[in-house]
Amino acid sequence: MCAEPGQVSGLRVSQLTSTAAQMMWTKLPCREHNGIAVGYMYELRRHLQPSVPSVNVMFGIVNGTALDLNSLVPFTNYTFSVRFANDLHQGRWSSQDFVTFEDCEYLVFSQVFVGRIVLKIFC
């Protein structure tokens, strides 16, 4: 009988921007699979407001230990969760909260001095 797989560790966010992030985690050792490997189940939840329940934005299964998240909303709170799944069971979720950067537009202001410039050239 297969047991529950071990819990994913080393979950972290990298390459964070206003609309994208890369999630990475440590490969689960084979001795902790406890069955035939299916992959890593993941879900991404977006938190709209403190009083409003979070929204499940994305979910699925991957075989690797990294996932690129694109088309995220700028300056928004997210929770990414991942767990290992074997052919009979899923491990416990590991989660990482992050906030996308604010999408800023930079304005360049210039001051123009209006006046009279007199050049004197000596011969």
Q: Write down all domains in the chain, each with its CATH number in brackets.
A: 12-99 (2.60.40.10)
Q: How far apart are CA 63 and CA 14, in angstroms?
A: 19
pLDDT tens for each residue of the chain, 123 residues long: 568 999 999 999 999 999 999 999 999 999 999 999 999 999 999 998 777 778 888 999 999 999 999 999 999 999 999 999 999 999 999 999 999 998 765 444 445 545 554 444 443
pLDDT at 48: 81
Q: How far apart are CA 113 and CA 87, in angstroms?
A: 74
Please name the residue that has the structure tokens 């700028």. 74
